[in-house]
Amino acid sequence: MDRETLELIVARGHSRVPLHEPGEPNGLRSLLLVKMLLLREQCPPSSDGEANSAAQPRPAGPVLARDVPHTRPLPRFAASLPLYDALNIFQS
């Protein structure tokens, strides 16, 4: 993911972005939490994998979704599930 794509995601205001297999838009595999992507961009992880608030901001360049460990499995539920129940699944 390049910086332009990151800026587009932020500008759209979505909190989650579906990730799919390269070249297969219907091959959804997980959800990317945008706030975690932004935190990762501003505070790269320390050697133990935790966000390092004292670290220098990341240099300009590609931001790879695979570098962001904060993805969530894609929720699956029946189409008949009530909307409020589906929202609760996304919020958990």
25-41 pLDDT per residue, tens: 888 888 888 887 777 66
Give residue limits of the domains in the chain. Answer: 3-91
Q: What is the pLDDT of residue 83?
A: 94
Give the span between the Cα atoms of 39 and 70, in whole angstroms.
10
CB atoms within 10 A of CB 89: 11
Q: What is the 3-state secondary structure (H, E, C) of the chain?
A: CCHHHHHHHHHHCCCEEEEEECCEEEEEEEEEEHHHHHHHHHCCECCCCCECCCCCCCCCCCCCHHHCCCEEECCCCCCCCCHHHHHHHHHC
pTM over 0.85: no
